[in-house]
Structures are given as structure tokens and as C-alpha cells.
Amino acid sequence: MNEPVYNFGAGPATLPVSVMQQIRDEFLNFNNMGVSIIEISHRSKEFEAVLDRCDALVREIANLPSNYQILYTHGGAQMQFSGVPLNLLGLKPAHQATYAETGHFSRLANVEAARFGNITIACSSKDTQYDRIPAFTRDMVSDDSSYAFITGNNTIYGTQYQTYPDMGDIPLVVDATSDIFSRPVDFSKTGVVFAGMQKNLGPSGTALVIVRDDLIGHALERTPSLLDYSVYHKAHSLPNTANTFAIYTMCLVMEWLKNQGGVAAMAKLNEAKAQTIYTAIDESDFYRGTAHPEHRSRMNVTFLLPTDELNALFVKEALANGLYALKGHKIVGGVRASIYNAMPLAGCQKLVEFMREFARTKG
């Protein structure tokens, strides 16, 4: 047997091995139909059953209140940078929204939203290279705002909201692409939570959107149909040919997550995984974490070695040791270990062993 390769890529990212084995095993013969999941109609009863099952699992895993709807949308997470303002700005006459700016993706989100309405940046950690999550509270959001927007986990900078801010009467919108279902979340405190599938859910190019009932049906006149939440809702996410393979894969990942003990068990495991690596960083003078300790992410651990040459050598030698895709995003440099739900604790332990050995020989 070859040693396993652990995939620390930021996204598309590692998926549970058992899920990929199941996909392989039934790829040519889905449900004993003699045909593949990728060649059956999105309107077939067999695919509808997959969709229904995925809905039920999401509802159970998220402990979703009944007044929230589940949509599967095209275009990944960034399509929702347009989808959110197009659907929600019309809630109030000012067509205004308030954003927290905590990194690259939250910046892209507020720049995109400004194409459609009046966008306020209430707080930003730009001045400290996005190394923290600045305070964002209801009193920083004008009553005219249709919604308040946060990026739950900052994939590039390795920071994460430890809890979501309470926005009271203002709908809170969360880009949860890189930490959805990694821990329990009180969805009743949110208006919209969306996530590109490629980090904790499945394949890329598609997003899960969880939206409160009363926020559906207010899309601006010019909203393209395939961005309009009410169009997806009325058609059970099949306004046109959906990405059936992505939804099928996500359904299997949700089944796996339920069998792991759901988000409560996952949160414990994710905490242990992250602590394993952060402890190794904090114990050494060789590695330096880039995120402020109180705002550290449990999904993306970012750190620097003393020089660019050592960063590059670390990534190269790690790869030769079965530790794949550890290179940091070009904006931050250094090393980034993305340790989403499907990364086992053993992967983090193997990384830490490698870190200690590398520091011992190169430090």
C-alpha cells in the first residue's frame, strides 16, 4: 500500500474518501438503472429523490427552522456576490447594504454589490493586512440597510468569525463558502447563508443558498432569472438543467457528515485538528502565524517561515512527503493548510511531524 496523500488545497478541496469510492462504484450503474448519474434527466424521479434527500439532510444537519428554504444555484460562491444584492437590495427603498471587509472575497463581494446599489463598508481590517475580524455590530448598520454582509471564514487570510454578529432586525448575509457545516450555527439569526460547494460540500461551480422565506420575492426588476431566488424556489432548484453531479455528490457528503455525528462532532474534530497545527506554530520560533490568535480560522491555517526560499522549500519537500497543495495564496505567501471537514486528524498530525522535522533540520 502507498502512503495516503493528504490534500491541503483551499478549493476544490479534499472530499471524504468513502464518498469518492461510492461515486466510483456506482458511476456506471446508478440505482441499478444501468446508466450513470451524469446521464439521467434532472427531471427524472430518481434525480428528484436525490434532491429531496439532500434537502432533508441539510435541514437535519443545519437544524434549519422551517421558514428557511434550500436552493442549489449556478455559478459558485462569487455568483452570489451579485445574487445577494439583486435579490435583497429591493427590500428597502434606499437600495442600501452594509458590508464588513475582512479579506479578498469580502472585498470582491462589496465591489460587486456596488454595481447594484449603495454600499457602505462599516469596518475593515485592511490596515492590518486582514489579520483579524473587526467588530461589526447592529449600531454600525443604518436602519435603511436592506442587509448586513459578512464573510464567515476568510480562506486566504486564515481568520474566522468565532460567532456571527447579532444584527437584530437587519437580515445577516453570510458567505460561508469555506466553513459551512464545520460547526453548529444558529441559522435563525441569519437571513441568507451561501456557500460555493467546492470546500465543504462537493464539486465546484455550484452553490448552496439557505434563505429565509420572507427574503424571497424581492428581486430587482433587472435580475436575470437564473439569479432570482424566487425562480429557484418555485422550481425546486430546477429552473433549467441543474448541475446534477454536484448535487448528487453533495448529497453523499451530507450523508457522510450525518454519519460522522453531524456538525457538533465535526466542530470538536475541527477544533482538535486546528489546535494540533496552531500548537506547533506557537511552540516554535521558526513558524509565524499570520492571523491574530483570537481570530484564527479552524479551516485555513496560514503561517510564514523566515524567508521566501524556506517557504518554497517547505512546500516542495512537503509534497514529496505526501502533503499536497500547502502553498499559501499569492497575496499572503507562505504556507496555508486548508483542513476542511473531510481532512482527517491524521493528516494534521502528519503535517505537524513534517513541520517539526523541517524546523529541526533547516531552522
Measure CA 3 to chain center: 28
Backbone angles phi, psi at 70, to 5 degrees: -110, 125
Counting every residue written for the chain, the total comes to 363
The C-alpha cell at 195 is 456557500
Residue 216 C-alpha cell reads as 424571497
- Position with the least CB separation from ligand PLP: 76
Give the Cα-Cα-Cα angle 32, 23, 11 (nearest 5 degrees). 155
**Nearest distance from residue 200's CB to ligand PLP, in Å?**
10
- Select 180 or 335, whichever has its Cβ closest to ligand PLP: 180
Distinct helix (H) and strand (E) counts, the chain: 9, 14
CA distance to 206, 294, 361, per residue, from 201 (Å): 10, 27, 38
Shortest distance, position 284 Cβ to ligand PLP, whole Å: 27
Give the type of residue at 275: Q
Min dist CB 209 to ligand PLP, Å, is 12
| Closer to ligand PLP by Cβ: residue 80 or 311 | 80
Q: Minimum Å distance from CB 139 to ligand PLP?
A: 26
**Is 103 or 117 the residue whose CB approaches ligand PLP more closely?**
103
Task: Output 178 or 243, the one with its CB closest to ligand PLP.
Answer: 178
Smallest distance, Å, CB 10 to ligand PLP?
A: 7
Compute the least distance from the CB of residue 32 to ligand PLP, in Å: 34
For 20, residues 6+ apart whose C-beta sits below 8 A from its C-beta are none
Q: Is 264 exposed, middle or buried (0-12, 13-18, 19+ CB in 10 A)?
A: exposed
Q: Which positions lie near ligand PLP, rule CB under 6 A?
A: 11, 76-78, 105, 151, 155, 175, 177-178, 196
**What DSSP element (H or E) covers 332?**
none
d(CA 124, CA 102): 6
Q: Taking the complex as a whole, how short is the minimal distance between the CB of residue 47 and ligand PLP, in angstroms?
A: 23
| DSSP tag of 103 | S
| 40 vs 343 by CB, closer to ligand PLP | 343
Please, which residue, 77 or 193, has the CB nearer to ligand PLP?
Answer: 77
Nearer to ligand PLP, 297 or 305 (CB): 297
